[in-house]
Amino acid sequence: MYEITTELDNLNEEVIGHMNSWVDMLGGGEIGRLVGAALVLLVFFIFKRVLVRGALAILRRIAQQRSESMMGNVLDAFALPLQALFMLLGVYFATEVLTLPEEIDAFAVEAISVAAGFCVFWALFRAVEPLGVSLNRLVGRFGAGLGDDLRQFFIRGVKTLIVVIGGVIILENWGIDVSAFLGGLGLAGMAVALAAKDSVANIFGGLTIFADNLYKRGDWIETPHFEGTVEVVGLRATKVRTFAKALVTMPNAQIVDSPVINWSRMTHRRIKMVIGLEYRTTAKQMEAIVDKLRDFLKNDEDVAQTDVAQMVHLSDFGASSINIDLYYFTKTTDWVTWRDIRNRHIIAFKRIVEEEDAAFAFPSQSLYVESMPEIINSPKDDQRSERKIG
């Protein structure tokens, strides 16, 4: 590292020496140096244009030919910082050509070095998002929605880290003792940790959601606190749109500590229903109805036939009906399609029962009265009645 720095210093002195020789050829003096500084700025401005429209354009074209869109996006991100860095380099050599007072020259060099450092971190900051595209394959195994959330979390974290490191380095270049400030933060770290323990728990909860792939954006989930569709899986909290169209924001720590049902992970959707037949239905009719119901479900293309249960049985003698219990699954998990299938099946089941000259029972009660008390009119009641009539 020391050898590289020495070589750069030697190159810098050699370039400045050549520039001063060219200025002396122009006649020297203040006017000659002003003209030389203007020519230096013009040369670097032309180099900047050549860099953007020439070298970067060629590299971008090569990346497109090789179907490396990420590299092309990174080059686009580097374009503006590189242009600014070239112009800063031109300003530096222009100031070296001019005969400025030592204080002004030292301040200008310091300002240029800080601005150059800013350009470097600016380029890294702009390149984070294009580089995040390269995470598609890595985070793709978490699913499209969760992978996108994880990628955004990575991008925000790296950008924050670049800003912090860049700010510390720039402040150090300005002569500000950042280490003392960081040491003070270390003393207050315990108090901050105690105050932010809930936030830390939520962050670890978010990492648990990402690692275990509990759910992703767009999933239908249910917890003891809410039920709805996930809209945002953040580092601190998850936002869920309930079926009443209200937005619920729940800290990740509470979600991780609660049972979570992910209905979007259903392989099939279940249908449960009970058909109540009248008690006057004969045994032969019931056997025929059960057989026809089983045949209907076995031959229906929307009903799952493997890996799930499919049951049609007479279940019990109800209060006012003999009940047939149906338990089966559809192939689709889409809610609207499932409702259409259920609607079609109810009509088909009604038709099967009617074909066997049976009928559905409805809740009813029979009241048997063994005897009625005799009503005896007393003479006083008759007199009272007569007075009322009169």
* Residue 306 is assigned to a structural domain of this protein: yes
Q: Tell me the average pLDDT of the chain.
A: 76
| Number of domains comprising the chain | 3
Q: Looking at the structure, tell me whether residues 9 and 91 fall in a common domain.
A: yes
Q: Does residue 119 or residue 36 have the better pLDDT?
A: 119
Q: What percent of the chain has pLDDT over 90?
A: 28
Q: Binning pLDDT at 50, 70 and 90, where does residue 141 land?
A: low
At residue 79, the pLDDT reads: 77
0.75 surpassed by pTM: no
CATH number at residue 260: 2.30.30.60
pLDDT per position as a tens digit, 65-115: 665 566 667 777 777 788 788 777 777 777 766 766 677 767 777 777 778
Q: Looking at the structure, tell me whether residues 260 and 275 fall in a common domain.
A: no
Alpha carbons 45 and 93: distance in angstroms, whole number: 13
At residue 163, the pLDDT reads: 80
Q: Looking at the structure, tell me whether residues 256 and 281 fall in a common domain.
A: no
Q: Looking at the structure, tell me whether residues 36 and 61 fall in a common domain.
A: yes
Q: Looking at the structure, tell me whether residues 217 and 70 fall in a common domain.
A: no
3-class secondary structure, 243 = coil
- For the stretch 203-207, contacts whose Cβ atoms lie closer than 8 Å and that sit 24 or more positions apart, written own/partner, are 203/235, 203/236, 203/252, 204/253, 205/251, 205/252, 205/253, 205/254, 205/255, 205/256, 205/257, 206/153, 206/233, 206/234, 206/235, 206/236, 206/252
Using the predicted structure, report yes or no on whether residue 143 has a pLDDT greater than 90.
no
Domain range enclosing 162 = 1-176
CATH number at residue 297: 3.30.70.100
Q: Looking at the structure, tell me whether residues 190 and 122 fall in a common domain.
A: no
At residue 20, the pLDDT reads: 58
Single out the residue of 197, 212, 229, 246 nearest to residue 238, CA to CA: 229
Alpha carbons 109 and 118: distance in angstroms, whole number: 14
DSSP 8-state symbol, 321: S
Using the predicted structure, report yes or no on whether residue 7 has a pLDDT greater than 90.
no
At residue 313, the pLDDT reads: 95
pLDDT per position as a tens digit, 300-339: 999 999 889 999 999 999 888 999 999 999 999 998 999 9
Of 248, 265, 282, the last residue of a domain is 265
At residue 174, the pLDDT reads: 67
Q: Looking at the structure, tell me whether residues 197 and 157 fall in a common domain.
A: no
* Residue 260 is assigned to a structural domain of this protein: yes
CA atoms within 13 A on the CB side of 85: 15
